[in-house]
Amino acid sequence: MNTTTLGIDRSASHDVVLSRAVLYELHVGTFSTEGTFDGAIEHLDDLASTGITAVELLPIQEERGERGWGYGPVHQFAVRRSYGGPGGLARFVNAAHAHGLSVLLDAVYNHWSYPAMFLERFAPYFHATASTPWGPTPNVDGVGADEVRHYLFENARLWLEDYGVDGFRLDAVHEVYDRSAVPFWAEFSDLCREIGERMGRHPVLIAESDLNDTKVVRPRSQGGWGLDAQWSDDFHSALHAALTGERAGYYVDFGSLAQLAKAFERPYLFEGGYSVFRARTHGSPAGDVDPFRFVVFDQNHDQVGNRGDGARLTTLLSPGLARVALGLLLFAPYVPMLFMGEEYGERRPFYFFADPPAALARRVVQGRLRQLRSNGFTEPPPSPVELSTQELSRLDWTRAGSPVGQAHRAFVAALTTLRREWPALQGGVASARAWEESRRIEIRRSHAGSDALFLANLGRETGRFELEASRSWKIVMRSDAPDGGDPRAELFRPVNGPYEVPAEAFAILRSD
């Protein structure tokens, strides 16, 4: 790759400091009106001013057809033409860095898309016996595996060295079948570290993992894979089930406020306990791992797009509870990630869509219906193969500029500012407790002599919280300010005695 032609300014790359990061998941094809890298650049200033520190792009490689989520890459080294190709990605990376934003790529190394089967003509790229729900898994531990690993490692090198990206979100790492003495992901981590050291950088590696196994993020010296962080689905599931009341599919294991409180103290809710959804015990303890090694979210492309209705929390919850969800997310001791549009309260759905050959379109539609029914959705969604389905999923930037959208953005910016500036939110959780009957939850964080208290009332009546009498508390932020009002209007007002939180609202208090 000729980086001079691309115009990459690699000196502007940004290390992702996870303890201060606020991630933002973005699908290029539906993020802007144009659906291109250049269209996305127009909104980077808005993201930076809201407190976002890193943009995580859904896969941007060429896949089958002109549209899709990107998780069926066919040509791993080719940037999608419809997004703007190599030049478009280069301009986006440079523009993001100029705005102080890091860029992460969602990399799909766990499976091959079926149109990529041409690779088997050249070498044993596909595992002889193992596969994933989405296609064959790469051969990383069989005959010829060294060169297959080399192919994938060189792909990572391309994005880091030639495009100057700042790291990866690694799709479904648990789907790589690997019996080798040096696991594929451990060697991948070593390679990225070597590249980073040579370039004076630290590429961040974030795994999507369904294992609830800390080996994913433990250092290589402790027998781990050496990745920097992993997604924590347990946090999302506990939050979603508690706020929406949904129990279908994988939400069957969640729902109580006690679980939600525990999710603030433990990154895995399943640490060896029995999972009804899996019909087996699941997970291992993770209490000794730094909380900033876990990425949490209240929604993402999977959790929204794999619903039959494609609904966001803004349409599933009341406005008050939607704000509570954001407050819980951005108060958590982990690394928060927002889904595109969440910063201004987007209400449009985000559906699954694809562009398969006509001969496969019927199979795609039927397979999608089977998956949705297994998750409890009986009504058919818009056809995933129609162009209109992608259009229905495009962000509504008129809402972003409306008074309601601007007030919502100010609310999110106030929360990200607290995370960035308040010492109490640089440490872990001291305690979390819940009252199931009155639908109240209290979370306390402490660091460097500063204490933060998050009081959330999920019920429909005013909730009363008893405060520690030996300490002096002041209000930092409330979520029940009307649209257009400053959520921090009562900043530093002293609080004496019990504190009341209105229905479906939260308050943040501090004591130093």
- For 471-504, the pLDDT digits (tens) are 889 999 999 865 444 555 555 678 878 999 999 9
Instruction: Answer whether 189's CB lies under 8 Å from 225's CB.
Output: yes
- Mean residue pLDDT of the chain comes to 92
Look at residue 373 in the predicted model and tell me its pLDDT: 80
pLDDT band at 112 (very low <50, low <70, confident <90, very high): confident
Instruction: Answer whether 457's CB lies under 8 Å from 480's CB.
Output: no
User: CA 92 from chain center: how many Å?
Assistant: 20
The predicted-structure confidence for 208-224, as pLDDT tens digits, reads as follows 999 999 999 999 999 99
In this structure, of 166-175, 233-242, 471-480, the range with the lowest mean pLDDT score is: 471-480
Give dist(CA 508, CA 331) in Å, integer. Answer: 9
Report in angstroms the alpha-carbon separations of 192 from 75, 155, 167, 372. 21, 11, 9, 37
Higher pLDDT pick, 357 / 449: 449
| Domain 427-511 sits in CATH 3.30.200.20 | no
Look at residue 490 in the predicted model and tell me its pLDDT: 58
Please tell me the pTM assigned to this model: 0.95
Look at residue 491 in the predicted model and tell me its pLDDT: 58
- Tokens 């974030």 belong to 206
Query: Residue ranges of the domains in the chain?
Result: 3-420, 427-511
Look at residue 483 in the predicted model and tell me its pLDDT: 47
Active-site residue numbers? 171, 208
In this structure, of 350-354, 361-365, 485-489, the range with the lowest mean pLDDT score is: 485-489
Give dist(CA 206, CA 475) in Å, integer. Answer: 35
End-to-end CA distance of the chain: 53
CATH topology assigned to domain 3-420: TIM Barrel (3.20.20)
Structure tokens at 364: 């795609």
Please state, for a pLDDT cut of 70, what percent of the chain lies above it.
95
Is the pLDDT at 7 greater than 90? The verdict is: no
Q: Average pLDDT, stretch 452-463?
A: 97
* Residues constituting the chain: 512
The H or E element that residue 465 is part of is strand 463-465
Q: Average pLDDT, stretch 445-468?
A: 94
Q: Average pLDDT, stretch 373-388?
A: 84
Which residues lie across from 454 on neighbouring strands? Answer: 443, 508
Structure tokens at 151: 């192919």
Look at residue 484 in the predicted model and tell me its pLDDT: 42
